[in-house]
Amino acid sequence: MAANWEKRSLHSFGSNFRLDICNPQTTTSGNQIYEMYAVTDKEEDVSLIGLGEDGSFHLYNDKTIEIVGGQKASSNGVDILIQGKNGDVCINADRNGRVRIRAKDIVLQADEDVDIVAGRNINLKSGSGRVLISGNTLEKTGLKGNILDPTQEWAYRVYEGTGLPAGSFADLLSSFSGIANLAGDLVKNPNLFAGFVEGAVSNAIASATSFV
């Protein structure tokens, strides 16, 4: 189908701002119903606001986007509302950015599940108050830490049933600091753990793979 250039209306307000209406050139949103284009003089930073033929609205800006509301609103009202009627609401901070939310009180509410997934650490800290966890079923799993029962820790399961000397596991409990002591004992007496290594290795592999 040939492009209909007769519908296009282009209004230029100097070299920094223009309004483009019904541009038939196809973009990711299809043909453009309208697009406002602005560019700065110094660094040529671009700002685009527009509506595509597919009904999608877009707002692009090369630098910071600031949204401020509620300067004269009542203190118990809603100043800024972001709402997705039938789909997801996604907030991404790419590269080295962080997503920061700050308020007097923060409420996360879901009709079903709340999932928190981290590639490294999850830190929960309360100031002068408390941390309360309640639910119908509470479960904990891990390799080590003071919240686990000693029999659930990785070091215990590695050497369970291997016949290690009494007190060996107690040394391992403190962040595995006892490994150095056990290594020293092994140097002094190479036969100390004879017959137990195979069982320890098997237990270590089984314990570690259960968390993968």
What digits encode the pLDDT tens for the residues 46-56?
Answer: 999 999 888 89
pLDDT of residue 107: 94
pLDDT of residue 66: 96
Model confidence at 181: pLDDT above 60: no
Please determine, for residue 161, whether its predicted confidence score (pLDDT) is greater than 50: yes
Confidence of residue 75 (pLDDT cuts 50, 70, 90): confident
Q: DSSP assignment of 162-206, as one string?
A: TTPPTTHHHHHHTTTTHHHHHHHHHHH-TTTTTTTHHHHHHHHHH
Q: What is the pTM of this model?
A: 0.62
Domain residues of the chain, as ranges? 5-61, 150-209
Q: Categorise residue 70: left if φ over 0, alpha if ψ from -120 to 50, beta otherwise.
A: left
